[in-house]
Amino acid sequence: MTKFRSLKILDWFQPLFTWMKIDYKMMRKILEMKLIMDQRRTPTIFQGNQKAKGNQFLKTLGIYALYGLLLVLFVFLDQYMFQMSIIFGLTMFLMMTSLIADFSSVLLDIRDKAIFHTKPLDSRTINAAKMIHIAYYMAFITGAFISIPAIVMLFKQGIVFFLLFLAEVVLLVLLIIAITALVYLVILKFFGSDQLKNLINYVQIILSVAVVIGYQIFIRAFNIVDINISYVFEWWHVLLPPIWFAAPFELILGHNHSFIYIFLSSLALVIPFIALAVYIWLMPSFERNLQKLMDETGEIKRWKFSLTRFWSSLICFDQEEKMFFRFSSIMMSREREFKLKVYPILGMGLIFPFIFIMNTLMSETVDSLADSNTYLNIYFSTIMIGSMVQMLKFSKNDKGGWIFKTIPIKQTKKFYSAALKALLVKLYLPVYLLISVVFLYLFSWNIWLDLLIVFVTAILQTVLAYKLINNEYFPFTKPFESAQQSVNTAMFFLLMFLVGGFVLLHFIALLIPFGKISYLILLLLGTILYWKKVFKMVSKEG
């Protein structure tokens, strides 16, 4: 049987577990079996290498170590609050996304209930094994990520800086595990069955997108003048954990003993333990509510699909295409794995145009926006279309794809035509409309023609992505595990350059009299003709 050296380190703390009335020997055995089983699981970051042998998780640590090189750049800064807020922000992002992507299934695992709860095992022992199981992997990921920066810190900033950093990283890991578990606990408490499963999926998506938004918020907590960086406290900084963990460096090493640094430092020290204590206290309730995950999907309300029928009648031109459109729409709505992959991309497309506008507002006023071409930032919302088209291939239930080759489908391309229309209407259109409403408010109604140009451009980009990305399979017929292998990086970069080309053409149209309306007409005609050419009626493909 595989021996894990880390479990020998855990043996040093056996008296502590015994004091906590945990059956240490049984907990250790459970952990050992879980770690052996985990060797067969491929982490999200390494999913493209399905045929590789050995422990895939350990092989990913080298990748995390390379990511850690980003932190080295900030080690040489002198302003502790700015320096350490960035470092802890990046570390928090990596750990949180890893926990969401790979270890939420561990937090929410109910499969072992049928085994462990039929044995004379105390629930406290089972829960402790689950907690340490997650902490085990988080410690390895964090260690790989911070190892190189920590060594640089030791030689550049000294032993006190180095030890303080390591101590705070431990607190940060505890905080992230506890907060994530508590969020799921709240959801488990107040929701059930299918709503719960959807909410968990949405929480994972929201957390992924919120971290990116969080960077844009806390980076603006600092006023940068030339090369001088100054920190000015605002009340909302209390809501930003990276700033909590930066404060002790300013307090201890910067010798700044003002009340605000003492207060922020106390949050970094106390909140992780409070969160962990609350999680442990509520863990029995957490385990009881996990039972809701075993409930099956409830009754489907047919009124939900009325909008889908409306769109299919409006943009699809025969019964076969309408059928494929409705099927694709339902798959996009029900496939939790698909939503977990695609919705964060949508979230990025939604926030990036506003991020660049925020950067513009740092040097200009809101009134000046109406006279500028900053609204062209909306093209950043179209960059993610290629990734969305790529994800149409995949499904968790890919093995059911055999049915498409057994039924008399007249036009296989028509399936993709309908799927792309469903993607545009169901996924891209809501994001586009939301951005457009805000942009009309910021830039005035004079840009309505520009917004129409962007939407037609998005349609053209969708069909271009279909042609450039190898879509020889039926939609939703490949497993998600092969997604990384199917990615054509060169094609995605080409699509990004095409977006830049469309921006350039749009900008040139602004300089020509009647340029916008002429460009819109040409773009619309070109898009219609190209769509018809790509999805030209042909005999059934193999």
Residue-by-residue DSSP string for 204-269: HHHHHHHHHHHHHHHGGGEEEETTEEEE---GGGGG-HHHHHHHHHHHHTS----HHHHHHHHHHH
**Alpha carbon distance 283, 273 (integer Å):** 15
Task: State mean pLDDT over 261-271.
Answer: 92
**Alpha carbon distance 338, 329 (integer Å):** 12
- What's the distance, Cα to Cα, between the start and end of the chain in Å? 48
DSSP assignment letter at 394: B
Per-residue model confidence (pLDDT) at position 365 = 66
Using pLDDT thresholds of 50, 70 and 90, give the confidence band for residue 215. Answer: low
Residue 105 has pLDDT above 90, yes or no: no
Do 353 and 484 belong together in one domain? yes
In terms of Cα–Cα distance, which of 216, 224, 74 is closest to 149? 74
Per-residue model confidence (pLDDT) at position 401 = 65
CA 532 to chain centre: 35
Using pLDDT thresholds of 50, 70 and 90, give the confidence band for residue 456. Answer: very high
Winning range, highest mean pLDDT, from 51-55, 66-70, 205-209, 323-327: 323-327
Do 324 and 428 belong together in one domain? yes
- Tokens standing for residue 160: 């006190």
Per-residue model confidence (pLDDT) at position 51 = 46
Domain of residue 245: give its range. Answer: 5-294
Residue 255 zone, left/alpha/beta (φ > 0; ψ -120 to 50; rest): left
Residue 2 has pLDDT above 60, yes or no: no
Q: How far is CA 44 from CA 49, 100, 392, in A?
A: 10, 10, 19
Winning range, highest mean pLDDT, from 25-29, 41-45, 265-269, 337-341: 265-269
**Alpha carbon distance 339, 333 (integer Å):** 8
In terms of Cα–Cα distance, which of 49, 56, 57 is closest to 484? 49
* Chosen domain end from 244, 268, 294: 294
**Alpha carbon distance 490, 483 (integer Å):** 15
Using pLDDT thresholds of 50, 70 and 90, give the confidence band for residue 542. Answer: very low
Per-residue model confidence (pLDDT) at position 538 = 46
Pairing of strands 222-225, 228-231: antiparallel
What is the residue type of 464?
A: L
Residue 226 zone, left/alpha/beta (φ > 0; ψ -120 to 50; rest): left
Helix (H) and strand (E) counts in the chain:
23, 2
DSSP-based three-state secondary structure for 457: helix
Per-residue model confidence (pLDDT) at position 519 = 94
Q: How far is CA 267 from CA 238, 274, 318, 525, 534, in A?
A: 8, 10, 62, 60, 58
**Alpha carbon distance 199, 190 (integer Å):** 11
Residue 152 lies in a domain: yes
Per-residue model confidence (pLDDT) at position 278 = 86
> Helices 412-423 & 319-334, crossing angle to 10 degrees?
50
Per-residue model confidence (pLDDT) at position 263 = 92
In terms of Cα–Cα distance, which of 530, 511, 392, 513 is closest to 457? 530
The owner of tokens 């709503």 is 195
Task: State mean pLDDT over 422-451.
Answer: 91
**Alpha carbon distance 466, 513 (integer Å):** 34
**Alpha carbon distance 200, 327 (integer Å):** 24
* Chosen domain end from 265, 294, 323: 294
Do 179 and 264 belong together in one domain? yes
Per-residue model confidence (pLDDT) at position 44 = 46
CA 397 to chain centre: 22
- Tokens standing for residue 477: 């017929």
Per-residue pLDDT of 487-539, as tens digits, reads 556 677 788 888 889 999 999 999 998 999 999 999 999 999 999 888 875 43
Per-residue model confidence (pLDDT) at position 221 = 54
Winning range, highest mean pLDDT, from 102-111, 320-329, 451-460, 480-489: 451-460
Per-residue model confidence (pLDDT) at position 417 = 87
Per-residue model confidence (pLDDT) at position 50 = 44
Task: State mean pLDDT over 3-32.
Answer: 82
Per-residue model confidence (pLDDT) at position 233 = 78
Per-residue pLDDT of 373-393, as tens digits, reads 888 889 988 988 988 888 888
Residue 503 lies in a domain: yes
Residue 207 lies in a domain: yes
Residue 150 lies in a domain: yes
In terms of Cα–Cα distance, which of 369, 412, 430, 455 is closest to 541? 412
Residue 262 lies in a domain: yes
CA 183 to chain centre: 16
**Alpha carbon distance 393, 472 (integer Å):** 9
Task: State mean pLDDT over 430-438.
Answer: 93
∠289-293-295 over CA atoms, to 5°? 110
Neighbour tally for 111: CB within 10 Å: 9
Do 252 and 326 belong together in one domain? no
Per-residue model confidence (pLDDT) at position 56 = 53
Residue 126 lies in a domain: yes
Residue 300 lies in a domain: no
Give the mean pLDDT of the chain: 78
Per-residue model confidence (pLDDT) at position 429 = 93
pLDDT cut 90: percent of the chain above it: 17
Winning range, highest mean pLDDT, from 18-22, 318-322, 373-377, 447-451: 447-451
CA 52 to chain centre: 25
CB 409 within 8 A of CB 492: no
Per-residue model confidence (pLDDT) at position 301 = 47
Task: Tell which wins on pLDDT, 537 or 338.
Answer: 338
Task: State mean pLDDT over 442-471.
Answer: 88
CA 275 to chain centre: 23
Per-residue model confidence (pLDDT) at position 494 = 82
Per-residue pLDDT of 159-188, as tens digits, reads 999 999 999 999 998 888 888 778 777 777
Do 260 and 350 belong together in one domain? no
Give pTM, 2 decimals.
Answer: 0.63
Residue 453 has pLDDT above 90, yes or no: yes
Do 370 and 518 belong together in one domain? yes
Task: State mean pLDDT over 449-471.
Answer: 89
Residue 272 lies in a domain: yes
Do 207 and 60 belong together in one domain? yes
DSSP-based three-state secondary structure for 55: coil
- Tokens standing for residue 6: 């880390």
Neighbour tally for 407: CB within 10 Å: 6
Task: Tell which wins on pLDDT, 222 or 340.
Answer: 340
Neighbour tally for 269: CB within 10 Å: 15
Number of domains the chain is built from: 2
Q: Following DSSP, what letter does each residue of 413-429 receive, concatenated?
A: HHHHHHHHHHHIIIIIH
Please state which of the ranges 63-77, 94-108, 458-472, 509-523 shows the lowest mean pLDDT: 94-108
Residue 207 has pLDDT above 80, yes or no: no
Per-residue pLDDT of 107-135, as tens digits, reads 666 666 667 766 777 777 877 887 788 78
Do 315 and 189 belong together in one domain? no
In terms of Cα–Cα distance, which of 60, 69, 83, 409 is closest to 224? 83
**Alpha carbon distance 274, 278 (integer Å):** 6
Per-residue model confidence (pLDDT) at position 62 = 73
* Chosen domain end from 272, 294, 316: 294
Do 232 and 133 belong together in one domain? yes
* Burial bucket for residue 61 (CB in 10 Å: 0-12, 13-18, 19+): middle
DSSP-based three-state secondary structure for 478: strand
**Alpha carbon distance 190, 183 (integer Å):** 11
Per-residue model confidence (pLDDT) at position 132 = 83
Do 281 and 309 belong together in one domain? no
Q: How far is CA 83 from CA 86, 89, 143, 263, 279, in A?
A: 6, 10, 19, 19, 31
Do 313 and 206 belong together in one domain? no
Per-residue model confidence (pLDDT) at position 457 = 95
Do 263 and 412 belong together in one domain? no
CB 173 within 8 A of CB 145: no
